[in-house]
Amino acid sequence: MADFLLYALLAGLSLALVAGPLGSFVVWRRMAYFGDTLSHAALLGVALGFALDVSPALAVTVGCLLLAILLVTLQQRQPLASDTLLGILAPSTLSLGLVVLSFMHDVRIDLMAYLFGDLLAISTTDLAWILGGSALVLLLLAALWRPLLAVTVHEELAMVEGLPVAGLRLALMLLIAVVIAVAMKIVGVLLITSLLIIPAAAAQRHARSPEQMALGASLLGVTAVCGGLAMSWFKDTPAGPSIVVCAAVLFLLSLALPKR
């Protein structure tokens, strides 16, 4: 097997594994649009990373975190609904990212790679970031699993029972930010949320416990990555979109299967 295909496979599989449980939380907590906004802001992070000459992965993570904090502050300060705020922030940050990039004449980047991913061009450094980031997020998710679940079920009950609710909420945003930074190279900023949401939504109908849903979503994600890469290898389709198409097909299949 060619090296680049092996790297692509490893990167895609590790992302799919972590996207299962994290995506389940995104579905349960109705954070889909929030994830979308963070991923749009990721492009601004990339641009600032180039402008300030820091690693894009680091810049994206920090950028997503700043946006999350900005969003929480805005939610508390004025009466506009969350989806309106997200609808303002998502295109604004994406556009600002594109504008900033246009000022940097000495930087030539392939915009399509950032928007839709460039899985087959992953370097060993990229792979190290992706594996490390995924492992970190997976470990933290496992450690925080029950408290996060308790907060998802009922925040006030969790608070009375002594859980640090605000901290847990922030931790979840942080984990999503890290995964977005990691996933950008794989499926691009426009497609990241689909990888979080579609496998979780597909697993939902047939799961009987939160853990079953998380694990099911991981397995479906792994299947989608393998299928998408196969399509890309044999039919020369773009890798990121091929993975998303596979995930969507799995989702449709899950609807067709009778609910047990």
In the bound complex, what is the minimum distance in angstroms from residue 28's beta carbon to other proteins? 5
Cα distances (Å, whole numbers) of residue 207 to 24, 39, 213, 254: 11, 28, 5, 11
Q: How far is the CB of 254 from other proteins (least distance, A)?
A: 13
Near other proteins by CB under 8 A, which window of 77-85, 120-128, 169-177, 202-210?
Answer: 202-210
**Region near other proteins per CB under 8 A, out of 27-35, 132-140, 173-181, 244-252:** 27-35
Instruction: Give yes or no for residue 213 binding other proteins (CB under 8 A).
Output: yes
Q: Which is nearer to other proteins, 140 or 165 (CB)?
A: 165
Q: Which stretch binds other proteins (CB under 8 A): 7-15, 24-32, 37-45, 128-136?
A: 24-32
- The whole-angstrom separation of Cα 255 and Cα 59 is 39
What is the distance between the alpha carbons of residues 141 and 178, in angstroms, rounded to a whole number?
A: 12
Q: Which residue has the tokens 């190279």?
A: 185
Site for other proteins in 107-166 (CB under 8 A): 146, 149-150, 152-154, 156-157, 159-161
Q: Which CB sits closer to other proteins, 208 or 235?
A: 208
Query: Is residue 6 within 8 Å of residue 126, measured between CB atoms?
Result: no
Cβ closer to other proteins: 131 or 150? 150
Q: How near is the Cβ of 153 to other proteins at its closest, in Å?
A: 6
The answer to the question of residue 212 lying near other proteins (CB under 8 A) is yes
The answer to whether 64 and 181 have CB atoms below 8 angstroms apart is yes
Looking at beta carbons only, is 212 or 223 nearer to other proteins?
Answer: 212
30 near other proteins, rule: CB under 8 A: yes
CA distance 33 to 87: 9
Count of residues interacting with other proteins (CB under 8 A): 23
Which of residues 65 and 172 has its CB atom nearest to other proteins in the complex? 172
Smaller CB distance to other proteins: residue 95 or 161?
Answer: 161
One character per residue 175-194, x = contact with other proteins (rule: CB under 8 A): --------------------
75, 82, 92, 204: which one binds other proteins (CB under 8 A): 204
Positions touching other proteins (CB under 8 A) are 27-30, 146, 149-150, 152-154, 156-157, 159-161, 201, 204, 207-210, 212-213
